[in-house]
Chains A and B, each alone.
Chain A
Amino acid sequence: MSLILDSIGLRVGEEVVIDDVSLALERGTMNVLLGPTLAGKTTLMRLMAGLDRPTTGRLLLDGKDVTGLPVRRRSVAMVYQQFVNYPSLSVYENIASPLRVARLPKAEIEARVAQAARVLRLENLLQRSPAQLSGGQQQRTAIARALVKRADLVLLDEPLANLDYKLREELREQLPRIFAESNAILVYATTEPTEALLLGGQTATLWQGRVTQHGPTPAVYRRPDNIAAARVFSDPPLNELAVDKRGALIVTEAGRQLPATGMLANLRDGSYRIAFRCDDVTIDAGANGLPGFPGTVSVTELSGSESFVHVDVGIGTWVCLVSGVHDWQPGAAVEVHVDMRRAFAFDAEGALAAAPAMAASA
Chain B
Amino acid sequence: MARITLDGIAHAYARNPQSPQDYALQPLHHVWEQGKAYALLGPSGCGKTTLLNIISGLVIPSEGRLLFDERDVTRLPTEQRNIAQVFQFPVIYDTMTVAENLAFPLRNRKVRRPQIAARVADIAAMLELTPYLNRRARGLTADAKQKISLGRGLVRSDVSAVLFDEPLTVIDPALKWELRSKLKAVHRALDLLMIYVTHDQTEALTFADRVVVLNEGRAVQIGTPEELFERPEHTFVGYFIGSPGMNLLPAQVAGTRAQVGDCEVQLGAAYPAMPADARIQIGVRPDFVTLAPTRGLKVQVRRVDDLGRKRLAHVSLAGHPMVAMVPDGMATIGAEAFVNLDAAHVLVYRDDVRVEGVAA
Contact = CB atoms under 8 A, between A and B. Distances in A.
Contact of A299 (B172, B184, B286, B310): B184
A266 interface: no
Interface in A46-73: none
Interface string A310-329: 10000000000101111100
B174 interface: yes
Interface stretch (A14-22, A74-82, A142-150, A161-169): A161-169
A169 B243 contact: yes
Interface of B is mostly: helix
A270 B245 CA distance: 47
B74 interface: no
B351 interface: no
B199 A324 contact: no
Interface in B10-36: none
A304 B203 CA distance: 10
Interface of A is mostly: mixed
A278 interface: yes
Contacts of B188: 330
Contacts of B310: 279
A298 B188 CA distance: 12
A298 B229 CA distance: 22
Interface residues of A, number: 39
A218 B309 CA distance: 11
Interface in A266-325: 277-279, 298-305, 310, 321, 323-325
B172 to A, nearest CB: 5
Interface residues of B, number: 38
A302 B180 contact: no
Contacts of B180: 299, 301
Nearest to B230: A325
Interface in A237-265: 237
Contacts of A298: 181, 185
A279 B307 CA distance: 12
Contacts of A310: 177, 181
Contacts of B285: 305
Given A36-B174, A135-B44, A165-B199, A303 B243 contact: yes
A295 B245 CA distance: 32
A165 B243 CA distance: 9
A302 B185 contact: no
Contacts of B226: 325-327
Contacts of A36: 172-174
A127 interface: no
Interface stretch (A114-122, A190-198, A204-212): A190-198
Given A165-B201, A325-B230, A237 B306 contact: no
Contacts of A218: 306, 308
A197 B307 contact: yes
B309 A237 contact: no
Contacts of A278: 309
A326 to B, nearest CB: 8
Contacts of A325: 205, 225-226, 228-230
B242 A304 contact: yes
Contacts of A279: 309-310
A198 B308 CA distance: 9
A324 B201 contact: no
B202 A301 contact: yes
B243 A305 contact: yes
A134 B201 contact: no
A354 to B, nearest CB: 20
Given A303-B201, A303-B243, 17 more contacts: A37-B174, A173-B305, A197-B306, A197-B308, A236-B177, A277-B309, A279-B309, A299-B180, A299-B206, A301-B206, A302-B202, A304-B225, A305-B243, A325-B226, A326-B226, A330-B181, A330-B188
12 contacts: A165-B202, A165-B243, A197-B306, A278-B309, A304-B205, A304-B241, A305-B241, A305-B285, A310-B177, A325-B230, A330-B184, A330-B188
Interface of A: 36-37, 134-135, 164-167, 169, 173, 191, 193-194, 197-198, 218, 221-222, 236-237, 277-279, 298-305, 310, 321, 323-327, 330
What are the 4 closest A-B residue pairs judged by CB atoms, nearest first?
A: A299-B181, A302-B205, A305-B242, A279-B309
